[in-house]
Structure 1
């Protein structure tokens, strides 16, 4: 086992937030499930990551009950670790690197929410730690991002109406450009499925 699929923050916390109505892919669980099936068939490790912010009182506060995988996800199965992080990347506040080292993992496939935040940050840190990283861009999701000078307490409608808001598709495109050839190989779910069929 030298490869691992890292499923990052595909959790109910996001669905509990008003911003979910503007998520780039509300059916992200479908694509993640396809990757999970691929990984399991190949005998790869699947690691599930959840983000929590204890004591925050928000959707990521474990006390509110939203820090759990999206109900549609097919996992975890026995032997698949679930790690809880409190930082943006999946390494700093968890034992993820230890888990991967113990299993001889050198190649990471990453997916999840949000594209440019926790998934991208995990890809960058993983690359810096010496892992070969594959970033499955269409198995990530994100939201439009407000301009830095915009008020923090606006509604989703106000966010979307602001011409300074960076649309989700532009966020994803920027992430691809930032990672490709530097920190990760960019892939799609269908591309990985086709590659697995060719090897079968």
Structure 2
């Protein structure tokens, strides 16, 4: 883990949807998480970085089923050529979506990833970004998940904070983990500089 990250040209906000951050089903510490993701979004906008809201389309009956209150993005989107919403149906934000093409077309080489769930959609999207050769920064305090319940004969419950840390660790040494979202810096992609 490092203190500050060199500037990135894009911010991926993964699945920060009502079902995950509001009400009974919210991840632990959801209020702080949405404050930090809001700050990341505001600073990315100010510095001209690409902001991509990745929105999960859950299965029928799921808390994030399209069209339900839980599916709605928590943060307001400033629809523009530098802020977009990409919908997905799998954990990986790149799978079957235009995300890869958007990043390439925008001139992005380095990105930050925040959101939920650490060991699922955040990790899966980060893994593909790393495999595609992007520099990936993950602010430790800007992604979250739920506790893993006890599994008889296997383990006791695993606290959410431990799950999030393991999700980072499992991505290997190419991932840049910074302790605080406030330490992520942004810059406009080469194609969007003025």
TM-score bin, normalised by smaller chain:
0.7 to 0.9
Aligned-partner Cα distance in 2 for 1:17–1:59 = 11
CA offset digits 1:74-119 (Å, max 9, x no partner): 4334331101000101000211011111111111110001111111
How many residues matched? 176
| 1:136 corresponds to 2:139 | yes
State the partner residue of 2:38: 33
* Greater C-alpha radius of gyration: 1
Out of 107, 110, 126, the residue aligned to residue 107 of structure 1 is 110
Q: Is there any run of 5+ residues in structure 1 with no aligned partner, and where? A: 151-162
* Alpha-carbon distance change, 149 to 86 in structure 1, aligned in 2, over 3 angstroms: farther
Task: Spell out structure 1 runs of 4+ moving beyond 6 A.
Answer: none
User: Is the 2:16–2:73 contact (alpha carbons within 8 Å) kept by the matching residues of 1?
Assistant: yes
Aligned-partner Cα distance in 2 for 1:5–1:81 = 11
TM-score, structure 1 as length reference:
0.79
Out of 171, 175, 183, the residue aligned to residue 191 of structure 1 is 183
User: Is the 1:17–1:59 contact (alpha carbons within 8 Å) kept by the matching residues of 2?
Assistant: no
Structure with more helix by fraction: 1
SS of aligned partner of 2:184: helix
| 1:11 corresponds to 2:45 | no
Question: Shift of the alpha carbon at 1:15?
Answer: 4.4
RMSD: 2.3
SS of aligned partner of 1:66: helix
Q: Is there any run of 5+ residues in structure 2 with no aligned partner, and where? A: 1-7, 188-194
Question: Shift of the alpha carbon at 1:26?
Answer: 1.4
State the partner residue of 1:181: 173
SS of aligned partner of 2:71: coil
